Amino acid sequence: MKTLLYVLYGGKSVEHEISLKSAYTVMQSIDESKFDLYPIYITRSGCWFSRGKLSGKTFLPGDLILEAAEEEPAGTIGRILTELFTLEGPKVVLPILHGSNGEDGTIQGMLELLNVPYVGNGVLASALTLDKALAKEVLASGGLPQAGYRTFPYRNWSEDRDHVISLIEGNIGFPCYVKPGSLGSSIGISRCERREELEIAIEEAYRYDGKIVVEKEVRGREIQVAVMGNEYPLVSLPGEFIQDKTFFDYNAKYIDGRLSMSIPAEIPDILVNRIRQMAEQAYLALNCSGLARVDIFLDAEGALYVNEVNALPGFTAFSMYPVMWERTHGTSYSELIEKLIDYAFNRHADKQRLQYTKE
């Protein structure tokens, strides 16, 4: 019997378009001899729609967006769960939902209630990794080095802007980066070299979140490492994007098309080992499972700093995560998806052993 694979994509998030790009590539790679594919599109308002089982791979990226009259999200979710999730056979969910309401533990909590296996991190790890401020606190408690940073809830800014600016100038300095507290894909992030830029950047970041993180710039290289697995994770060779911009922004990641990958990154072996160990340590510290990408700064003196852990790295044609596994173990894109599905089933099976009564 084939496995029923539900791919959730789109989502109520500013990273909606990134989800479409990732989901398209993922669905093109599914082995239809092993899986019955059920794409489920989530609109920007949170409604769920599906055309049922997808047969063949002749669809185009634009076909992923389903046009339908908007309804109350609860009604559409209930309809999908009743019509699709009650089908007989082994089931697994692949949530390709970047950012809010998908990468933050929200959808993971729902899938836990449904008691269905799903690919990727659980509720806690998803919530932690998307919340940059809380993730930094956990990483710091694990002894992992990070660049200097400060966190500011919106009330600090609304009550005393000058005080926030003074704290940033005195404790972080310039250049610095201003980021929304919970978001990815470099959306809402700005690099600042002076006070005038800082004020604009803070306002921009607060558009996307009620909390911001301001970080000291580390002059050097950003190295990326792919990690996958549950209790005993595997760690890829490190890679990096070669680019001519100081700041690796949204356009550089998804639009310009001028990025080139260096995998493995040209780094001395002793640093490669340290980077891979640090990536595994960060993965475990944040209770990750399934997959994550760990980004690490390497400065000119050879010092390493964890930048962030991305619980749902992109799977687009320009994404580093799948390519790092191909260069590390020769793992193809399709094989990678199946490995991640296996991890989902293994984690789900482990949870079924838990007891929920006192007897």
CA distance 23 to 39: 9
Q: Is 15 a catalytic residue?
A: yes
CA distances from 26 to 82, 94, 185, 228, 320 (A): 25, 10, 18, 17, 14
Residue 295 assigned ligand-binding role: yes
262 CA to centre of own chain:
21
Q: One of 100, 126, 182, 319 is an active-site residue; which one? A: 319
Instruction: Output the furthest CA–CA distance in the chain (Å, rounded).
Output: 64
Residue 159 assigned ligand-binding role: no
233 preceded by a cis bond (ω within 30 of 0): no
CB contact set of 211 (below 8 Å; sequence gap of 6+) = 133, 151, 152, 153, 154, 180, 181, 182
Q: What is the DSSP letter of 238?
A: P
Q: One of 13, 15, 182, 190 is an active-site residue; which one? A: 15
CA distance 47 to 102: 13
CA terminus-to-terminus distance, the chain: 35
CA distance 187 to 232: 32
Q: One of 185, 190, 236, 289 is an active-site residue; which one? A: 185
Q: Is 32 a catalytic residue?
A: no
CA distance 287 to 129: 9
Helix axes of 161-171 and 195-206: crossing angle, nearest 10 degrees? 120
How many CB atoms neighbour CB 294 within 10 A?
30
CA distances from 14 to 10, 19, 43, 185 (A): 10, 10, 11, 10
What does R_g of the chain's alpha carbons equal in angstroms?
Answer: 21
Lookup: tokens for 173: 């300095």
Q: Is 185 a catalytic residue?
A: yes
CA distance 236 to 329: 8
Residue 308 assigned ligand-binding role: yes
Binding site residue list for Mg(2+): 295, 308, 310
Q: What residues act catalytically? A: 15, 185, 319
Binding site residue list: 295, 308, 310
